Amino acid sequence: MAAVATGRGRAPIVGINVTPLVDVVLVLLIIMMVSATYIVSQSLKVELPKTASSDDSVSKTYVVTITKDGKYFFNDRPISKESLAAELRTAQKSERDLSLVITADQGALHGQVVNVIDLAKVEGITKFAINVERQ
C-alpha cells in the first residue's frame, strides 16, 4: 500500500516505535531471572541452621546433604555413609578445582557433619562450604 500525501504535505508515520517492545522484553527478562532462582533451589527439604552472617553462595558443583534422621545424599541421590568416600574420590578425580557444599539439617548430629568434612579432606577436597540460612 503506497503512502498517499494529504493536501497539507504531511506523510503518514511508517516507522515502528520499538521503545515499548524493549520495555516489555526487559520486564520479561527480570521476571525470568527472579523466578530462575526458585526453580534451581534444592529439592530436598532440610531445615538449615541460621547465622547472622554468612559468606556469599558458592556454585553447587557437588552437594552432600545430611538429614536429621542420619541419611546421606550426594547430589540429591541417596547414598550410604560407606560409599560416600568413593563418590568424593571419583568427584575429585573428575573435577580438579572441586567445591563441595555440605547441607545438614539443624537436627543432624554434629559428628556426622565433621565426618563428611574429614572424608572430604582425606580425598583432597580443600574447598568446601557449609550451607546455612540467613536470619
> Which three-class secondary structure state does DSSP give residue 57?
coil
The answer to whether residue 66 sits within a structural domain is: yes
The answer to whether residue 54 sits within a structural domain is: yes
The answer to whether residue 24 sits within a structural domain is: no
- Cα separation values, 128 from 1, 25, 61, 101, 103, Å: 67, 38, 10, 6, 11
Q: Per-residue pLDDT averaged across 102-111, rounded? A: 87
The answer to whether residue 99 sits within a structural domain is: yes
Cβ 50 vs Cβ 135: under 8 Å: yes
The answer to whether residue 20 sits within a structural domain is: no
As a whole number of angstroms, the distance between CA 90 and CA 48 comes to 27
Kindly report which listed range (3-17, 33-47, 62-76, 92-106) carries the lowest average pLDDT score. Answer: 33-47
Report pTM.
0.56
User: Kind and range of the H or E element at 22?
Assistant: helix 19-39
The answer to whether residue 13 sits within a structural domain is: no
Q: Which three cell numbers stand for residue 128?
A: 568446601
* The pLDDT value given to residue 60: 42
As a whole number of angstroms, the distance between CA 63 and CA 74 comes to 6
The answer to whether residue 25 sits within a structural domain is: no
* Block residue for cell numbers 498517499: 4
Q: Is the pLDDT of residue 69 over 80?
A: yes
On average, the pLDDT of the chain sits at: 79
* The pLDDT value given to residue 59: 43
The answer to whether residue 30 sits within a structural domain is: no
Torsion of the alpha carbons at 39, 40, 44 and 50, rounded to the nearest 10: -110
State which residues form the domain around 105.
50-134
* The pLDDT value given to residue 15: 82
As a whole number of angstroms, the distance between CA 96 and CA 68 comes to 31
User: Kind and range of the H or E element at 121?
Assistant: helix 110-122
Tally of structural domains, the chain: 1
Rg (C-alpha) for the chain, rounded Å, is 26
What is the percent of the chain with per-residue pLDDT over 70, rounded to a whole number? Answer: 77
**Which of 38-47, 56-65, 92-101 is modeled with the greatest confidence?**
92-101
Q: CATH no. for residue 100?
A: 3.30.420.270
